[in-house]
């Protein structure tokens, strides 16, 4: 009798425990989210506000943003954390980091998580130009978030002063040289006080700006598999020669390297009449320019075009299934048409889906700020950003070669030939 009573009590207690929610299930799912602060403007507050809005809609998920510095800092910190066993569950990293993250076995294919028909429709809704740096090997590895193209900003007042039509930016390489000469000013001692053109070449982004020259010259720098580059092809060397000539021959750009970070500041301070930089700087320039400015596509040589750029969402393999599901939900939420429109308006990045441009707020914004549509329209002739296996090493090789050329220590042909040989050596094992 006693044994029967004990069994009954045990069964009752077991039933009670089963019916009670586990403590772990009551806790929000925590997702560490690495985000790079690499572009001017109050980006961290925008991200904080976005996270707060998501958590209000999704009280069972706790997103913890970690601001990890530049894109280069962010990938380094993410891989260091991976090796230490404490990686984030979600990160915005360069779209070009895809091969590196795959090689490090750091991320999961997003299409392995997004399996429903609704999920598949979401994955199919992005601009294809952005997806070119998001998929390989039959899988989608990253989701476009803060994406861009290179655009040309120009000071309309300085155009007028130089006798140029402020509504007609340079549309060809020849016009860029001609306008640059008219816009370059010197003082009585012969020192340049205002440059006609500044194309950034310092730091980590020289290769990207180079693609704004190779693409219009109808040259592609790498294959889709990321294991072969074409740096010594004639059209590539022609593009390098033109960039070098802007300073060495035509005198419309400073000799040596032009710093990436200070280029928008030089434009705002009227030290340069024309600058090339990311559309992600649009909001920063809009808010701080005390003069009318225009935004235009890349000047043509044989065709139009720019590389795409910017960051993708990546979901890390080390997350629990619950964390991966939560990370996916946040990425989906952040790229809905309304949210993608909000992000584009707040930051200047290109809204990453055609549906975002069909929202009322985006239509109103495009009517008020037509400059915002330039990068979107350029997507039809844009190409994938330079990306390979061993991406950091290969891009550094190309950056070093371009900087050697621009400082005069190598000819364009020498620089590109040396870069090709070194890249071939690095990539040989991936072919």
| pLDDT (tens digit per residue) in 217-260 | 999 999 999 999 999 999 999 999 999 999 999 999 999 999 99
> Which is more confidently placed, 22 or 307?
307
State the pLDDT confidence band at 25, using cuts at 50, 70 and 90: low
Q: Give the Cα separation of 360 and 345 in Å (integer).
A: 12
Stated as kind and residue range, the H or E segment containing 181 is: helix 173-183
State the pLDDT confidence band at 147, using cuts at 50, 70 and 90: very high
Q: Does residue 315 surpass a pLDDT of 70?
A: yes
Q: Report the pLDDT averaged over residues 133-156.
A: 96
Structure-token pair, residue 129: 């130009």
State the pLDDT confidence band at 41, using cuts at 50, 70 and 90: low
Q: Does residue 320 surpass a pLDDT of 50?
A: yes
Structural contact between residues 397 and 204, judged by C-beta atoms closer than 8 angstroms: no
Q: Report the pLDDT averaged over residues 280-289.
A: 92
Q: Residue 1: what pLDDT?
A: 41
Supply the DSSP string of 222-283, one letter for each residue.
B-TTSS-B-TTSHHHHHHHHHHHHHHHTS-SS-SS---TTTHHHHHHTTSEEEEEEEGGGHH
Q: Give the Cα separation of 131 and 123 in Å (integer).
A: 9
Q: Does residue 13 surpass a pLDDT of 50?
A: no
| SS3 label, residue 353 | coil
CB within 8 A of 252, min separation 6: which ones? Answer: 177, 180, 181, 183, 184, 195, 196, 197, 246
* Closest-CA residue to 198 (of 261, 299, 266): 266
Structure-token pair, residue 314: 């990546």
Q: Record the pTM.
A: 0.87
Q: Residue 72: what pLDDT?
A: 87
Fold identical between 29-148+309-380 and 149-308+385-427?
A: yes
CB within 8 A of 349, min separation 6: which ones? Answer: 146, 147, 148, 279, 280, 310, 343
Structure-token pair, residue 186: 């010197």
Q: Give the Cα separation of 356 and 340 in Å (integer).
A: 6
Q: What percent of the chain has pLDDT over 90?
A: 88
Count of C-beta atoms within a 10 Å radius of residue 276? 23
Count of C-beta atoms within a 10 Å radius of residue 369? 15
Cα 337 to chain center, whole Å?
19
Q: What CATH architecture applies to the domain 149-308+385-427? A: 3-Layer(aba) Sandwich (3.40)
Structural contact between residues 253 and 197, judged by C-beta atoms closer than 8 angstroms: yes
Structural contact between residues 98 and 141, judged by C-beta atoms closer than 8 angstroms: yes
Q: Does residue 6 surpass a pLDDT of 80?
A: no
Structural contact between residues 256 and 199, judged by C-beta atoms closer than 8 angstroms: no
55-88 burial code (b ≥16 CB/10 A, e <16):
eeebeebebebeebebbbebbebbbebbeeeebb
Q: Which CATH number fits domain 29-148+309-380: 3.40.50.920, 3.90.1150.10, 3.40.190.10, 3.40.50.300?
A: 3.40.190.10
Q: Residue 70: what pLDDT?
A: 87
Q: In this predicted model, what pLDDT tens digit does every residue of 100-128 receive, in sequence order?
A: 999 999 999 999 999 999 999 999 999 99
Q: Report the pLDDT averaged over residues 161-169.
A: 98
Q: Residue 36: what pLDDT?
A: 92
Q: Report the pLDDT averaged over residues 4-13.
A: 42
Q: Residue 38: what pLDDT?
A: 56
Count of C-beta atoms within a 10 Å radius of residue 395? 22
Q: Give the Cα separation of 301 and 44 in Å (integer).
A: 38
The domain ranges of the chain are 29-148+309-380, 149-308+385-427
């Amino acid at each position: 009798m006693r044994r029967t009573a004990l069994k009954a009590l045990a069964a009752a207690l077991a039933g009670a425990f089963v019916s009670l929610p586990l403590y772990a299930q009551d806790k929000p799912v925590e997702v560490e989210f690495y985000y790079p602060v690499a572009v001017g403007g109050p980006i961290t507050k925008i991200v904080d506000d976005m996270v707060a809005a998501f958590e209000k809609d999704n009280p069972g998920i706790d997103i913890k943003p970690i601001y990890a510095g530049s894109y280069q800092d962010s990938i380094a910190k993410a891989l260091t954390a991976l090796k230490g066993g404490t990686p984030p569950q979600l990160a915005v990293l360069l779209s070009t980091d895809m091969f590196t993250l795959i090689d490090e076995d750091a991320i999961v294919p997003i299409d392995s998580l997004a399996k429903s028909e609704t999920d598949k429709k979401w994955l199919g809704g992005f601009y294809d130009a952005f997806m070119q740096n998001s998929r390989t090997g039959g899988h989608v590895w990253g989701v476009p978030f803060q994406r861009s193209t290179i655009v040309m900003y120009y000071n309309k007042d300085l155009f007028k002063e130089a006798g140029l039509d402020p509504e007609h930016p340079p549309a060809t390489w020849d016009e860029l040289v001609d306008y640059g000469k008219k816009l370059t000013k010197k003082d009585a001692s012969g020192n340049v006080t205002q440059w006609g053109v500044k194309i950034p070449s310092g730091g980590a982004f020289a290769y990207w700006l180079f693609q704004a020259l190779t693409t219009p010259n109808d040259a592609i720098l790498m294959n889709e598999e990321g294991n072969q580059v074409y740096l010594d092809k004639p059209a590539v060397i022609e593009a390098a020669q033109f960039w070098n000539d802007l300073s060495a021959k035509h005198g419309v750009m400073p000799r040596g390297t032009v710093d990436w970070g200070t280029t928008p500041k030089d434009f705002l301070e009227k030290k340069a009449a024309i600058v090339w930089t990311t559309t992600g700087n649009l909001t920063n320039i809009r808010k701080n320019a005390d003069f009318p400015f225009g935004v235009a596509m890349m000047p043509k040589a044989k065709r139009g075009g720019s590389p795409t750029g910017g960051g993708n969402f990546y979901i890390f393999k080390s997350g629990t299934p619950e964390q991966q599901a939560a990370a996916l939900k946040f990425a989906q939420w952040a790229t809905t048409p309304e949210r993608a429109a909000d992000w584009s308006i707040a930051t200047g990045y290109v809204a990453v889906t055609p549906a975002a441009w069909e929202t009322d707020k985006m239509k109103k914004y495009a009517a008020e700020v037509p400059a915002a549509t330039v990068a979107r329209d350029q997507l039809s002739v844009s190409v994938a950003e330079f990306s390979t296996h061993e991406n950091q090493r290969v891009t550094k090789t190309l950056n070093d070669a371009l900087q050697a050329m621009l400082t005069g220590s190598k000819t364009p042909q020498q620089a590109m030939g040396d870069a090709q040989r070194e890249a071939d050596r690095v990539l040989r094992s991936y072919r």
